[in-house]
Amino acid sequence: MNKSINFLIVLTFLNHSICAANAIKKEAGDSKPIKVYILSGQSNMVGAGKVDGGSSRWGSEFIDPVVSVYEGLYDSKENYDELKPIKTTKLEEFGGTNPSPYPGGGAQVTRGFVQVEKTGMYEFRPGYGGSMQNVMEVDGKEVHRKEVGKEIVRTGIKLEGGKKVPFKITYLTNDANGLGWIVRLDVPGTLSALVNYEGKYPYLKNEKSQWVARDDVYYKGVITATGSRWLGVESGKIGPELGFGHMVGNYDEDPVLILKTSQGNRSLGWDFLPPGRKQYEYGGKIYAGYKQSPESWAKGTEPKPIGWYAGKQYDDCFSAAHEVLNNFDEEFPHWKGRGYEIEGFAWWQGDKDRYNAGHASRYEENLVHLIKILRKEFKAPQAKFVIATLGQTAKNSAEGNEKLILDAQLAVDGDAGKYPEFKGNVSTVYTHPLSQGGASNSHYEGNAQTYMDIGRAMGESMVKLLEGK
């Protein structure tokens, strides 16, 4: 047989073998369990990092808006600035909650002027629902484009306060109205300012400078900060899950689920008190054990229960997490049949406990018990555990209750040596150097860098534990 023919036969066989091996590898990869990380805590974990300067319905910024109607449906080949409209209507109300209705009857284009009060970078979000399918220009620059069936592309524009510039909105469908929102992008400390103008976290945007979601890390939020979506930036606020999710997502070869269950203004000594904790005496009072009520009562008196009990928030938050995991295939149909493994827990809390000496005095004991009981309850004895301290609390200046909580959080770190069983599986992130100011009770003034950097640090700490470092 010809040698070249033999070579082709061998090459064909090898190609088929490689393809078969890759298919088997892919099938095996697609069947691996999803890696789950459960995040919990109070308002720190809920998250208050501002994405931008806050969107507001537009209205008074717009001057002399007029809608022109042109014959026929919208045609991308037409230059509507050169065509004569069949109808022109002055819009008495533009924006707000009840804008003047558009006349319809053809392709519609709105023109006028816009004048902002303060100089800055702005983003325009014209329309709502179907009416978002339009192209908007401000001062000759395209700032919004949403074609039918395609993703939105928006570009910020710098406007001078008090200066009137022209705007135009060309609607691509019959769905048109004067609704819209305007957003300030360059407010210091917001995520948009950090990414767009300070060069931080470039991976949060794509090549078109639009926020982009990961396709291998999914976010599920219950109780508060609710949501079910691929991990990315939504309008509003962020929590530490964004930075955390990117760190563990970059590490894990398998898909990741970030399951966040949190609630603000909750203490570990009362609201989050884990099952098994007993009542105790402190300062002449008896403090409630798990399931007892009220929070405390004078020694020697009978407690009078209220509509809350010790551990109620623990029960609510982690029951909600169980509900998600118990219905995994229904919650995450894109992963149907794969199951899950709990890789780790992340805890950022402690603010409310610093206002109660009784709770602060037992914070370390409660935290140790929380770590153990969560691993037991979720049947994840090998799951890693990461804790973050309160950002405003410094090692060299903390006093009183705040010092008790910081010392407790640092003590459970496996490298501290106090709890040998936590060596290599529990880590504490000291967050004071990462905080950009403010305090936990003021949500760090909404500074997105604080939430991003602490989330990243918690994720990095989790990865080190997983790597055995």
Dist. CA 267–CA 261, nearest whole Å: 15
End-to-end Cα distance, the chain: 58
Q: What is the pLDDT of residues 217-252, one digit of tens each?
A: 999 999 999 999 999 998 789 999 999 999 999 999
Mean of the per-residue pLDDT values for the chain?
93
Report the residue count for the chain. Answer: 469
Neighbours of 167 (CB within 10 A): 21
Dist. CA 118–CA 283, nearest whole Å: 55
Quote the percentage of the chain above a pLDDT of 90: 92
Mean pLDDT of 285-306: 98
> Would you place residue 29 in the very low, low, confident or very high pLDDT band (cuts 50, 70, 90)?
low
Extract the tokens encoding 274: 């884990």
- Report the SS3 class of residue 298: strand
Degrees (nearest 5) of the Cα angle 397, 437, 395?
20
Classify residue 96 as left (phi > 0), alpha (psi -120 to 50) or beta.
left
Degrees (nearest 5) of the Cα angle 398, 399, 405?
75
Extract the tokens encoding 2: 């010809």
pLDDT at position 56: 93
CB 39 within 8 A of CB 346: yes
Using CA atoms in the order 97, 100, 105, 108, what is the torsion angle rounded to 10 degrees?
Answer: -80
CB 170 within 8 A of CB 145: no
Using CA atoms in the order 407, 455, 350, 369, what is the torsion angle rounded to 10 degrees?
Answer: -70
The secondary structure element, H or E, covering residue 246 is helix 241-251
pLDDT at position 13: 46
Degrees (nearest 5) of the Cα angle 281, 43, 327?
95
Dist. CA 108–CA 330, nearest whole Å: 43
CA atoms within 13 A on the CB side of 75: 12
Pairing of strands 180-184, 217-222: unpaired
Q: What is the pLDDT of residues 88-117, one digit of tens each?
A: 999 999 999 999 999 999 999 999 999 999
Dist. CA 134–CA 119, nearest whole Å: 26
- Residue with token string 């009990």: 309
Cα distances (angstroms) measured from residue 62 to each of 80, 161, 167, 192, 459: 21, 13, 9, 24, 45
From 418, 419, 386, 391, select the one nearest 405 (Cα to Cα).
391
- Name the strands in the sheet holding 217-222, side by side, starting at the edge strand that comes first in the sequence: 227-230, 217-222, 256-262, 34-41, 340-348, 384-388, 426-429
Backbone angles phi, psi at 416, to 5 degrees: -70, -25
Mean pLDDT of 315-320: 98
What lies within 8 Å, CB to CB, of 241 at 6+ separation is 39, 47, 219, 221, 225, 231, 258, 260, 455
Whether 120 has a pLDDT exceeding 70, the answer reads yes
> Would you place residue 357 in the very low, low, confident or very high pLDDT band (cuts 50, 70, 90)?
very high
CB 248 within 8 A of CB 462: yes
Q: What is the pLDDT of residues 219-228, one digit of tens each?
A: 999 999 999 9
Radius of gyration over alpha carbons of the chain, in Å? 28
Cα distances (angstroms) measured from residue 437 to each of 189, 225, 243, 398, 449: 10, 23, 19, 16, 10
pLDDT at position 26: 43
pLDDT at position 469: 76
Q: Which of 27-41, 161-175, 198-212 has the lowest mean pLDDT?
A: 27-41
pLDDT at position 20: 45
SS3 content of the chain, % helix, strand, coil (to 5): 30, 25, 45
**pTM as predicted:** 0.90
Tell me which DSSP letter residue 205 carries: B
Neighbours of 447 (CB within 10 A): 23
Alpha helices, H only, 348-399: 357-361, 363-377
Degrees (nearest 5) of the Cα angle 394, 50, 389?
25
From 201, 259, 218, 213, select the one nearest 448 (Cα to Cα).
201
Q: What is the pLDDT of residues 363-396, one digit of tens each?
A: 999 999 999 999 999 999 999 999 999 999 999 9
Dist. CA 177–CA 166, nearest whole Å: 18
- Report the SS3 class of residue 260: strand
Neighbours of 346 (CB within 10 A): 27
